[in-house]
Structure 1
Amino acid sequence: MREFTVPSLVTAPQVGGLADVVFEHAAEQPERIALGRKGADGRWRDVTAAAFRDEVLALAKGLLAQGVRFGDRVAIMSRTRYEWTLFDFALWTIGAQPVPVYPTSSPEQVFWILLDADVTACVVEHEDHAMTIGSVIDRLPRLARLWQLDAGAVRTLGAAGEAVADEVVHRHRMALTPASPASVIYTSGTTGRPKGCVLTHANFMAEADNVLARYEGVFRSRPGDEPATLLFLPLAHVFGRMVQVAAVRGRVKLGHQPQLTAAALLPDLRAFRPTFVLAVPYVFEKIFDTARRAAESEGRGGPFEKAVEVAVRYAEAVEERAFGTGPGPGAALRVRHQVFDRLVYARLREALGGRVRHAMSGGSAMDRRLGLFLAGAGVTVFEGYGLTETTGAATANPPERTRFGTVGQPVPGTTVYIADDGEVWLHGGQVFAGYLGDPRATAAALRNGWLATGDLGGLDADGYLTITGRKKEILVTSGGKSVSPLPLEERVRAHPLVSHCVVVGNDRPYIAALVTVDMEAVAHWLRMRGRPLPDPAVLVRDPELEAEVRRAVVAANTSVSQAESIRAFRILGGQFTEEHGLLTPSLKLRRKAVEKAYAREVEALYRGG
């Protein structure tokens, strides 16, 4: 199939902007719990729709009093927290445009975004961020204001705006149209300098409202539950922003968690008890790996693996029934599934707070087997696909017919088209307006309203999309064989000891790979064998570890021809990290940076050393 369309489920608003729902919801249901806010004492407190409206209005007044004007761009550099959502809606209330900045950005990255976006004011989380801004402020003559959240920015601005009349704020809000720019979000910059995507209020509305209309039924654990989600994705990323907007528009109680570590996240999942979560595959992988290691440490490794196999077989049978290719789980399988549900699967669901039965994953590909296991364990993950340029999801698996291993069908209001060269093109109301100040890049990306994504993929007979790689990342060996590295890398990464895999081989005689290992998983693996954790320089030459990674490579090679297979690999002692410039803030590989940083190791792969 070359093209597939799913009609829109909503009518696009003709007037207004994103902040209007804050005031409408407060007028309709002032006492409804709109958000949860974690205090300094660690306790969660409810925030009503009316209270949130009042905070947004007070902050909007303060921003006006401090000189922020309609159309101004204001940067926000912070981790995910309640105040970010507050600032977003206050800025939208007065027609300003938030520009998100990753809190881990370097001074030069911050400088480029603030300069390119012509930012006039900036909100930072703490003193370290303020110092980062301070190191480049002399090169930013338009930057006139800096507020620090941990230094009482909300309180200070609220006091500054006390003399501003409500009508002044509402005049600004009423001047907005859906076509007005809402935010400038910068791409991750995997292949070059980040570009600013101009996303309009209409883009966010089309994306959020269609997703809400299609998935509203799975936001609750059970009929009658009040829907709630805990947001731990970075709000600097378009996925997190889309979740935030959809939650507020869809009356889903929203909480914030700034840390992705298990030690911080798991207690808040238990305390907040979301009914639905949205995450990247990394989070689901960590939950699974933690559960497996816990079982092995307790001497239950064998039963856990049996439980995994039963869950996968059960979910496969359900999937086959949904697509009319099988009768569903048989009686014996259902009995075994019920037994393991009490012994294993319930523990996993409890780790997510106890109420989550559905989730959404995006940002990168999820392993099909992991998706099947989670579904069999009672948490169906709807994998999707999108870009900054599409305001988040462009495709997602439908709730009633999830095809694991694909990124689903177009979200309502979207068309997917596969070009002659295999490139994925997208069309819909969520497709961005263009790159800020870059007409050449905009013309290259947008073709008569179609977004040429740069991703390669295919549509099956039912309109489900599978992503197979990036056009710019296709490797061509010296023998002329074209190889997409992504499928190979994902299959190697499926091994529990592997953290990252980078396939190389451009203009080389064969395909090879650089592999990093998950040190937490390796430490557990060694403990289970009664072995201490050696120095990394010794570990990477460990014969047993090398044999485990070789198994992962051999398994990956079974899916490709001999010419496309990984012929050599090297285990690295270091890690690919954002701090070293080898990962983007959204955890995507910077391939060129990796190959440059490990140039000697790459050369050794082709010398046999």
Structure 2
Amino acid sequence: MRDVALAPPAVSSSTGGLADSVFETAEIRPTLPVLARRSGPASAVWEEVTAVELRDQVADLARGLIASGISPGHRVAVMARTRYEWTVFAYALWAVGAEVVPVYPTSSRDQVAWILRDAGCVGVVVEDEQGVMTVGSVCASLPQLRHVWQLDTGAVGHLADAGAVVPLTTVDSLRRIVLPDATAVVAYTSGSAGRAMGCALSHRALASPCDTLLAGWGHTAAPPGEKPAVLAFLPLSHVYGMMIQGLCIRGGVLMGHEPDLSDASLASALRSFRPTYFYAVPSVFEKIYKEFLRTAQQSGRGALFERAADTARTFAAAVERRRLGRGSGPGLELRLQHALYERTVYRRLRAALGGRVVRATSGGSPLSRELSLFYEGIGIYVHDGYGLTETAGGITMQPLGREKSGTVGRPLPGTQIQVADDGEILVRGPSVFHGYVNDEGATRAALPGGWLATGDIGHLDGEGYLTITGRKKDVIITSGGMSVAPAVLEQRLRLHPLVHQAVVVGDGRPCVGALITLDPQFLAHWRAGLALQADVPGREAREENALREEIGRAVAAANSAVSPSESIRVFRVLPAPFDVASGLLTPSMKLRRDAIVRHYAAEIDAMYEARSRRARRPVPQEPAADWDDADNVFR
């Protein structure tokens, strides 16, 4: 092994199952507000649910599940957006010893059929009529499926009524026999390559990172004297969302649910709920930054925002050097500039997130150092953590007072990380999964020698901080033998406000290329700001030339982060973003690289062929063109 990082001892291991925390909190602090729900779909009023109210709802629903024949070990799928009932159903199922199988509500008919059949689900919770129709269309191939409960038609209330005949002592008896190592969740991988596999996660595995994070970092989730609050909006179908749910329930953190991910609904929820801690994936942090910039430019304050953003990054970098013992911190002039922008810019930016957020966490993929420094500079430190489905969520975190932007921190207490000779990250610890259901071969391959082979590549520095550089299977090898990890280039490209998505290609090609999609909102704003005149055909040509030059600058900026041989030399701007419906994104918004390369095979061929023709074309009194200058190709 090339690098090894050991963490401090783990927090004492949990006993019992995940549902115990609901019942224990209700016993100790019955009036503590633990959940919040909107009084109406677009309401700015949030109704708080106390610990004892949640306990009673979970117990009543658990009685209804028992009356319906749900027993310990049964698997029940939950196929809904992030809403209040998702949490109540999950804890009711755990209270009776059943296993939760999260399913994205946007899953296709074939995906739903595969997961329900592979997991052997006896029941499924759906959100609406569309969910009923999807499940109904595959019922014939699911002989074990006996129940379909629909949330929008009052499934929670109907089950609670049906369970009135079941004694509460029955729920308590079943809950108390749930062991920490019993399976709590069968979470299916997003299937970015091949068919999704079900990861068996125990109660202990899901509880361990939550308890460790609460013990070491829980006090940072709110300003002193304020109750911590988190707005849950990412899918609870993803292990990241489930970990946040577990942190809130186990730590007494007020959690609100926002199922609508549209910009308007999320912005409204943040302003009205006013969380103290924010969690998201990098694309959300990127989108928020671009929205800040777009709003500033529309109001004629674009230059002011860019100066303030540069100052924020410079200030945060100076603060980082001081806390790592590598500098004296911001100088007087920088402190004065930062104080000025705090009064005029930064506090207004924080207000867009509700005005109370003090810290945040980014997960799902690495967050760029530039963005991390920006948010820290405006007063919101973003912890960039690392984890995956097979580890029940986070396995690293930034040590308090020693945070280092651009890394994902150090291993959590009780977790060990090694980096193999080929750069693959190996993990061992209490949150690692039992294995893949119905696939012993895949389980053995994933756990060689008791270590989880993550499939991610990265490196540990001399202080034990982990940096993720990409996925092992995503590494590109050009025809010249150059190995290129695409993540760094893609991350840099997305920093440009016009770039929405980027996929680096080049396997077996003479150089690295990129497929780029544009951010629709910022593109419209950018076009409005061009102020081009004259006839429509002429305007369109000039607009295309200006856009080509702007994306060329984004490519040049991305190339500055890598060596010349790893640089993007050809690119193509695509007419539409990648999305889940087309099968080019996973439900957790990750790129399906193989599918994208297949889908755009003709465009990729044409992109390289166009550059090859230019390279072959003789130029009088000039050397033949080579692959050293970036070419840009628009579709």
Alpha-carbon displacement from aligned partner over 1:417-469 (angstroms, at most 9, x marks no partner): 11111100011101111011111110011123211101110001111111111
How far off is 1:261 after superposition?
2.2
How far off is 1:491 after superposition?
1.4
How far off is 1:541 after superposition?
8.4
How far off is 1:399 after superposition?
3.0
Unaligned runs of 5+ in 2: 612-635
The CA distance in 2 between the partners of 1:531 and 1:290, in whole Å, is 24
The CA distance in 1 between the partners of 2:409 and 2:192, in whole Å, is 24
Question: Match of 2:159?
Answer: 157
Q: Say which SS state the counterpart of residue 261 (structure 2) adopts.
A: coil
Question: Match of 1:287?
Answer: 288
Question: Match of 1:132?
Answer: 134
Alpha-carbon displacement from aligned partner over 1:204-235 (angstroms, at most 9, x marks no partner): 11111011112112111x21111111111100
Alpha-carbon displacement from aligned partner over 1:297-341 (angstroms, at most 9, x marks no partner): 111111111100111111001100011111011111111111101
Q: Which amino acid aligns with 1:294?
A: T
The CA distance in 2 between the partners of 1:80 and 1:461, in whole Å, is 40
Alpha-carbon displacement from aligned partner over 1:378-397 (angstroms, at most 9, x marks no partner): 01000011100011111122
Question: Match of 1:210?
Answer: 212
How far off is 1:40 after superposition?
2.3
Question: Match of 1:493?
Answer: 494
Question: Match of 1:570?
Answer: 572
Q: Which amino acid aligns with 1:114?
A: L
Confirm or deny: 8 A CA contact 1:501 1:514 kept in the other structure. yes
Q: Which amino acid aligns with 2:298?
A: S
Structure number with bigger Rg: 2
Question: Match of 2:375?
Answer: 374
Q: Which amino acid aligns with 1:313?
A: T
TM-score, structure 1 as length reference: 0.97
Change (3 A) 1:34 1:529: same
Please show how residues 473-552 of structure 1 align to structure 2 within 5 Å. Answer: 473-530=474-531, 542-552=544-554
In the alignment, does 2:434 pair up with 1:414? Answer: no
Confirm or deny: 8 A CA contact 1:501 1:513 kept in the other structure. yes
Question: Match of 2:201?
Answer: 199
Q: Say which SS state the counterpart of residue 288 (structure 2) adopts.
A: helix
**In structure 2, which of residues 69, 78, 81 is the aligned counterpart of residue 79 of structure 1?**
81
Question: Match of 1:608?
Answer: 610
Give % identity.
Answer: 50
Confirm or deny: 8 A CA contact 1:182 1:200 kept in the other structure. yes
Q: Say which SS state the counterpart of residue 513 (structure 1) adopts.
A: strand
Q: Say which SS state the counterpart of residue 189 (structure 1) adopts.
A: coil
Please show how residues 305-454 of structure 1 align to structure 2 within 5 Å. Answer: 305-454=306-455
The CA distance in 1 between the partners of 2:368 and 2:421, in whole Å, is 27
Q: Which amino acid aligns with 1:482?
A: S
Question: Match of 1:117?
Answer: 119
Unaligned runs of 5+ in 1: none
The CA distance in 2 between the partners of 1:296 and 1:531, in whole Å, is 17
The CA distance in 2 between the partners of 1:531 and 1:519, in whole Å, is 19
Q: Which amino acid aligns with 1:38?
A: R
CA RMSD, Structure 1 to Structure 2 (Å): 1.5
TM-score, structure 2 as length reference: 0.93
Change (3 A) 1:542 1:295: same
In the alignment, does 2:23 pair up with 1:23? Answer: yes
Q: Which amino acid aligns with 1:340?
A: Y
Confirm or deny: 8 A CA contact 1:382 1:398 kept in the other structure. no
Change (3 A) 1:76 1:568: same
The CA distance in 1 between the partners of 2:493 and 2:380, in whole Å, is 25
Task: Give runs of ≥4 in structure 1 deviating > 4 Å.
Answer: 538-541
Q: Say which SS state the counterpart of residue 579 (structure 2) adopts.
A: coil
Q: Which amino acid aligns with 1:277?
A: F
**In structure 2, which of residues 101, 104, 108 is the aligned counterpart of residue 102 of structure 1?**
104
How far off is 1:558 after superposition?
2.4
Question: Match of 1:471?
Answer: 472
Question: Match of 2:630?
Answer: none
Confirm or deny: 8 A CA contact 1:516 1:572 kept in the other structure. yes
Per mean C-alpha deviation after superposition, the further-off stretch among 98-107 and 209-218 is 209-218
The CA distance in 2 between the partners of 1:263 and 1:177, in whole Å, is 43
Confirm or deny: 8 A CA contact 2:10 2:415 kept in the other structure. no
Confirm or deny: 8 A CA contact 1:114 1:140 kept in the other structure. yes
The CA distance in 1 between the partners of 2:298 and 2:576, in whole Å, is 26
